[in-house]
Amino acid sequence: MLLEVSNVNAYYGDFQALFGVNLHAEKGEAVAVIGANGAGKSTLLNAIAGNVTTRGAIQFNGEKLAGLKPWAIVTRGVTLVPEGRRLFSSLTVEENLQMGAYARKGSDWGLAEVYELFPKLKERARQPVTELSGGEQQMVAIGRALMSNPALLMCDELSLGLAPVIVQDIYATLGRVRERGVTLIVVEQNVQQALKFADRVYCFQEGHVTLEGEARKLSAEDVSQAYFGKRGAA
Amino acid sequence: MSAKMTKVVQSSRTSRVAGLAAIVLVLALLSAAGWADRGTLSLLMEFFCYLALAEMWNLLAGFAGIVSLGQQAFLGLGGYALFFAALRLGWNPLAAFLLAGVVGAIIAVPSALVVFRLHGAYLAIGTWVLAEVLRLIFSEVASLGAGSGISLPVKFAKSVRLGPMHRDAVLYLAALGLALIVILASYLLLRSERGLALTAIRDNELGARSSGVKIFSVKLAVFAATGMGTGLTGALLYLAKLRISPSAAFDVNWTSYMIFMVVIGGVGTLEGPIVGTLVYFVLRQYLADLGSWYLIILGVVAVTVMLRLPMGIWGTVARKYDISLFPTRRRVLFEEAGSGGGELCAEGSSAAQE
Amino acid sequence: MKAFVDSILSGVLLGSLYGLFASGLSLVFGVMRLVNVAHGDFIVLAAFLALAFQHVTGIGSPFVMLTILVPLMFVLGYLLQRAVLNPALGPDILRPVLITFGLSVIVQNGLLQAFSADSQKLQGGRIETASIPLGGGLAVGTLPLLTLAVAVAVIGSMQWVLYRTRLGRALRATSDDLTTAGMMGVNTPHLFGIAAGIAMVTVAVAGVFTGVRASFDASAGPAWLIFAFEAVIIGGLGSLWGTLAGGIILGIAQAVGAYISPAWQMLAGHVVFLVALMFFPRGLFPRRSE
């Protein structure tokens, strides 16, 4: 197992957002995390990335991640594409990508590879990132994350605010990223898209995992139940 | 969590006991005018002036979110207004004293309009610039002694009397009165709805703005009020010193003392500055001979307290034992049948920031 | 007329020194939203350290002193940031202001204690009185001209670092979004230390040049802080060249004031600052995203 999250509780100050979460990802898998707003999906990714106070075990490649600072986690090969993209607004497209490589170990993904994946970005390399469209900004965010050579790439709400056509494009690209050997965990509001893309799915409700299973084996009903229904119906 | 009955209360048993004790204390202090010797009266007068300054600085910083590094502007203005009234207008001490307050308030308003365009630390330095500008201006006013300063005429000083009471007693009572008024006014303000508004501003300006609080006018009112109060305090202090000069009256060290007293005691509480002023005077008793070392020690203590004990002495104690002598919080008491009850405090403390 | 032009010229040159003062303040504010109220006092500290070195080592030129002073002040800035200022940072704006104010009191009185209240001056040697004739009866002092050149060089180097190096990218990214920069692998407490160190380098240079230019004493810090602050506000937050421009405008204002009367020198600067604040609250050359 590449990533193992065991019995993790996460807190924002006094407020507990995750309760005893168990989750794992095998090398090369694509895992989707679905659930309503506020269910704790983003918190999970942020907990793995080191941005949130956590209790419990998070193991990556045999190494302990829980308790490490975010900048130490990214050097171990775990990178987060944050919700809302969070690009550096006073930097250009290329500079944003270069920031992704700040702590890089290894060189599978460089500017050339990212531009190959997202040709549009090459055209706009020297432009301030604030001038790009939502879809293009999402590409920059993914490209930036790739520049850190992740073994595990986590994407938080990629489709937010984007037209369906663009979302499809982006997931197609993610497919290519996956073919290059990167393991993926995707938090996705769009359940259909998540089921289409992922191998396995976790469903969250109020900070608890309510469902886990292979994407193609889950029925719409299972998902609906886990998404909206009472807790404990796993 | 089914609340059967809720009640909003402001006072607690501790505060009611403290209230009684306070009244006794105040009566004792008032009587001191009759039996204390001149040296003691002089020291007490200074104490209450400094306490007033600390409480006002605390009101600005702890409640209105304005960190002022320039209150000495109003202190000096008040002092000079008094001297001007005494020397050039021939007014009596009371009138001169009141003029100091008026001048403080009047200058505070346009100053606020300029300085409020800045925020945070820049606002703080802006207030410092204000004090510097005043220092420079007064250094050039020949009729008030320019750079070397000026003294009060003896006749004026002698005319500070109230019946049989000597000057020291009168000044002492004025200082005591000023401090009490400042504390009382702050207390009443914070208990009121405006007070809630202030606390809201302190904790989250954006949040306060979106709930319709007129931030600007509240801040302006507080700034003007403290400008007036600081002016009055300056007048008293320099009436006692009998001599004023720009470098002393507009010295930024006044701010150093205010910050020290408030920080040591605890920012954002009414009781904190009282503790802080006491600590300051005790330290001053023992360390004043050390010259610059005295200020270095004050600085080191203040920085250490800010880093390690950010709520100050009183703040930490009050938090731990949940005491409040001047209760300004509104507490919602839940009373559930059979299970005693619970309490939810609505204050909006800066606990989140620790 | 000649005297007037002379004034303006010396104002420009003095102003470049103010811009240099302000550049460190501007950088630190940009990266970590911290205004170090002790900034002016650190400039005074640098001048006194240079003086002490002169006495101890007997080396004549304060500019040679810079080779020791610069790394020393860099380390001092780094350590101070990590030990005292990083813990002070947070959502509360009160704490950093008060803590740096406390530092200001400590440094100022420490200097008073160590060096007494006497006015001091760094000896610069012949360069102090040398001048370069400009023709038409005008001459410009070599030292002020050198100061301008150094100010431009220092700010230019900082710009180069910010826009052409990995470190600079990290500084700008951290300024935009602290948390996300951390997620990219930026060790933010360490980076803040580096930024503070760079600011202290500008302080060291500013301190030496100011100390050679005119006499100074232990309590000169607040005045210099105010000049730096006014330069930043006039020029606009977020732009180093803007800060230099702000400093120069301030210098010219002071020179024009001095031309009128000695009392007006300082006042003219403050007046220009207040006018700029009233009518251009974002400064004359603000960065677009501020």
Q: Spell out the domain ranges in chain B.
A: 1-30+326-354, 36-251, 252-323
Q: How far is CA B120 from CA B64, B171, C94, C246, in A?
A: 12, 36, 8, 20
Chain A residues touching residue C167 (CB < 8 angstroms): none
Paired residues of B343 in beta bridges: B333
User: Residue A225 pLDDT more than 90?
Assistant: no
Q: How far is CA B351 from CA A51, B315, C4, C96, in A?
A: 20, 11, 58, 17
Element housing C202 (H / E): helix C188-213
* In the block, residue with structure tokens 């989250």: B204
B296/C99 touch (CB, cutoff 8 Å), yes or no: no
User: Residue B70 pLDDT more than 70?
Assistant: yes
d(CA C290, CA B253): 33
AA identity, residue B313: I
- If one counts the domains in chain C, the total is 1
Lowest mean pLDDT among A167-176, B5-14, B148-157, C216-225: B5-14
A99/C181 touch (CB, cutoff 8 Å), yes or no: yes
DSSP 8-state code for residue B162 = B
| pLDDT cut 90: percent of chain C above it | 57
C174 located within any domain: yes
Residue A231's pLDDT is 53
B107, B69, B115, B119: which is closest to B227 by C-alpha?
Answer: B107
Relative to beta strand A15-25, strand A3-12 is antiparallel
User: Does B291 lie at the interface with C, CB-CB under 8 angstroms?
Assistant: yes
Residue A205's pLDDT is 87
DSSP 8-state code for residue B191 = H
CA atoms in the 13 A half-sphere facing the CB of C171: 26
C227 located within any domain: yes
Residue B295's pLDDT is 87
More confident residue, C2 or C83: C83
For chain A, positions 113-152, list CB contacts with chain C under 8 A: 130, 144, 148
Chain C residues touching residue A104 (CB < 8 angstroms): 185
Of A70, A82, A90, the CB nearest to C172: A90
Tell the burial category of B300 from Cβ atoms under 10 Å away from its Cβ (0-12, 13-18, 19+).
Answer: middle
To 5 degrees, how large is the angle CA A197–CA A198–CA A203? Answer: 120
Residue C28's pLDDT is 92
> How does residue A58 score in pLDDT terms, banded at 50, 70 and 90?
very high
Longest CA–CA span in chain B (Å) reads 77
User: Residue B330 pLDDT more than 70?
Assistant: no
Lowest mean pLDDT among B6-20, B108-122, B338-352, C95-109: B338-352
User: Residue B340 pLDDT more than 60?
Assistant: no
Q: How far is CA A147 from CA A75, B234, C163, in A?
A: 12, 62, 20
For chain A, positions 83-102, list CB contacts with chain C under 8 A: 86, 88-91, 95, 98-100, 102
> How does residue B343 score in pLDDT terms, banded at 50, 70 and 90?
very low
Query: CA B23: distance to chain centroid?
Result: 20
C289 located within any domain: no
How far C179 CA lies from chain A's nearest CA (Å)? 8
Range of the domain at C202: 2-279
A89/C187 touch (CB, cutoff 8 Å), yes or no: no
CATH superfamily assigned to domain A3-228 = P-loop containing nucleotide triphosphate hydrolases (3.40.50.300)
> How does residue C54 score in pLDDT terms, banded at 50, 70 and 90?
confident
More confident residue, C89 or C135: C89
Element housing B159 (H / E): none
Residue B10's pLDDT is 62
Of A51, A71, A91, the CB nearest to C186: A71
Q: Which residue of C has its CA nearest to A45?
A: C183
Residue B331's pLDDT is 61
Residue A206, SS3?
A: coil
Relative to beta strand A63-64, strand A53-60 is antiparallel
Count of residues making up chain A = 234
Q: Which residue of B has its CA nearest to C117?
A: B292
C286 located within any domain: no
How far C176 CA lies from chain B's nearest CA (Å)? 18
User: Residue B146 pLDDT more than 90?
Assistant: no
d(CA B331, CA B347): 8
How far B267 CA lies from chain C's nearest CA (Å)? 10
To 5 degrees, how large is the angle CA A214–CA A215–CA A216? Answer: 95
Residue A104, SS3?
A: coil
Chain B residues touching residue C102 (CB < 8 angstroms): 259, 299-300, 302-303, 306
DSSP 8-state code for residue C85 = I
Q: What is the pTM of this model?
A: 0.85
Average pLDDT over residues A61-90: 92
Give the count of beta carbons closer than 10 Å to the beta carbon of residue B339.
Answer: 10
How far B101 CA lies from chain C's nearest CA (Å)? 25
More confident residue, A123 or B35: A123
Mind listing the pLDDT tens digit for each residue in B55-65?
999 999 887 88
How far B264 CA lies from chain C's nearest CA (Å)? 12
B93's tokens: 């001490």
**Phi (first) and psi of residue A80, to 5 degrees:** -110, 135
Residue B206's pLDDT is 57
How far A103 CA lies from chain C's nearest CA (Å)? 5
Residue B6's pLDDT is 65
A103's tokens: 């702590």
Mutant choice from C36, C41, C95, C109 vs B, greatest count of B C-beta within 10 A: C109
Q: Which residues contact B119 (CB under 8 A, 6 or more apart)?
A: none
Residue B83's pLDDT is 94
B306/C101 touch (CB, cutoff 8 Å), yes or no: no
Residue C186, SS3?
A: coil
**Rg, chain C, Cα only:** 19
User: Residue B105 pLDDT more than 70?
Assistant: yes
C235's tokens: 């020029």
Lowest mean pLDDT among B14-18, C13-17, C66-70, C230-234: B14-18
d(CA B219, CA B292): 35
Query: CA B244: distance to chain centroid?
Result: 21
More confident residue, B349 or C247: C247
Residue A37's pLDDT is 82
B350/C103 touch (CB, cutoff 8 Å), yes or no: no
Mind listing the pLDDT tens digit for each residue in A209-224?
888 888 888 777 777 7
How far A36 CA lies from chain C's nearest CA (Å)? 24
C177's tokens: 């979004």
C97/B353 touch (CB, cutoff 8 Å), yes or no: no
C185/A90 touch (CB, cutoff 8 Å), yes or no: no
Residue B351's pLDDT is 31
**Phi (first) and psi of residue C286, to 5 degrees:** -75, 155
C179, C171, C139, C162: which is closest to C13 by C-alpha?
Answer: C139
Give the count of beta carbons closer than 10 Å to the beta carbon of residue A15.
Answer: 8
Residue B194's pLDDT is 67
* In the block, residue with structure tokens 């190959």: A116
Element housing B10 (H / E): none
Paired residues of A187 in beta bridges: A33, A156
A103/C183 touch (CB, cutoff 8 Å), yes or no: no
B332, B278, B52: which is closest to B180 by C-alpha?
Answer: B52
Q: Is the dihedral of CA B1, B6, B12, B13 positive or negative?
A: negative
For chain A, positions 52-71, list CB contacts with chain C under 8 A: 69-71
Q: Which residue of C has its CA nearest to B264?
A: C98
B218, B219, B231: which is closest to B102 by C-alpha?
Answer: B231
What one-character-per-residue DSSP string does A21-78 give? EEEEE-TT-EEEEEESTTSSHHHHHHHHHT-SEEEEEEEETTEE-TT--HHHHHTTTE
Mutant choice from A52, A75, A88 vs C, greatest count of C C-beta within 10 A: A88
User: Residue C95 pLDDT more than 90?
Assistant: no
Of C173, C182, C187, the CB nearest to A91: C173
CA atoms in the 13 A half-sphere facing the CB of B319: 19
Element housing B7 (H / E): strand B5-9
Q: Which residues contact C139 (CB under 8 A, 6 or more apart)?
A: C131, C132, C133
Residue C290's pLDDT is 37
User: Residue B81 pLDDT more than 80?
Assistant: yes
Of C169, C179, C187, the CB nearest to A99: C169
User: Residue B208 pLDDT more than 60?
Assistant: no
How far C232 CA lies from chain B's nearest CA (Å)? 10
> Residues in chain C whose beta carbon is closer than 8 A to a beta carbon of chain B?
34-35, 37, 84, 87-88, 90-99, 101-103, 105-106, 109-110, 112-113, 222-223, 225-226, 229-230, 233, 263, 266-267, 270, 273-274, 277-278, 281
User: Residue C202 pLDDT more than 60?
Assistant: yes
d(CA B114, CA B130): 10
C277/B126 touch (CB, cutoff 8 Å), yes or no: yes
A148/C184 touch (CB, cutoff 8 Å), yes or no: yes
B252/C222 touch (CB, cutoff 8 Å), yes or no: yes
**Under 8 Å between Cβ of C133 and C72:** no
Residue A213, SS3?
A: strand
Paired residues of C141 in beta bridges: C131
Residue A218's pLDDT is 79
C95/B310 touch (CB, cutoff 8 Å), yes or no: yes
Lowest mean pLDDT among A173-187, B324-338, C132-146, C214-228: B324-338
Residue B211's pLDDT is 56
Query: What stretches of chain A adopt beta strand conformation (E)?
Result: 3-12, 15-25, 30-35, 53-60, 63-64, 78-81, 152-156, 183-187, 200-205, 208-214
Mind listing the pLDDT tens digit for each residue in C262-271?
888 889 999 9
B256/C105 touch (CB, cutoff 8 Å), yes or no: yes
DSSP 8-state code for residue A3 = E
Mutant choice from C165, C175, C180, C239 vs A, greatest count of A C-beta within 10 A: C180
- Name the packing angle between helices C188-213 and C39-57 (round to 10°): 60
To 5 degrees, how large is the angle CA B31–CA B36–CA B41? Answer: 100
Name the average pLDDT for chain A.
Answer: 89
Chain C residues touching residue B253 (CB < 8 angstroms): 105
How far B67 CA lies from chain C's nearest CA (Å)? 7
C69 located within any domain: yes
Residue B338's pLDDT is 44
Q: How far is CA B66 from CA B3, B76, B143, C47, C221, in A?
A: 39, 20, 34, 33, 23
Name the average pLDDT for chain C.
Answer: 89
d(CA B305, CA C104): 16
A62's tokens: 């045999």
More confident residue, C131 or A163: A163
Q: What is the CATH number of the domain that holds C151?
A: 1.10.3470
Mind listing the pLDDT tens digit for each residue in A134-178?
899 999 999 999 999 999 999 999 988 899 999 999 999 999 999
Mind listing the pLDDT tens digit for each residue in C137-191?
677 788 888 899 999 999 999 999 999 999 999 999 999 999 999 999 999 999 9
Chain C residues touching residue A49 (CB < 8 angstroms): 183
To 5 degrees, how large is the angle CA C28–CA C29–CA C31? Answer: 65
**Under 8 Å between Cβ of C176 and C183:** no
Q: How far is CA A151 from CA A62, A116, C113, in A?
A: 13, 19, 58
**Under 8 Å between Cβ of B198 and B218:** yes
User: Does A28 lie at the interface with C, CB-CB under 8 angstroms?
Assistant: no
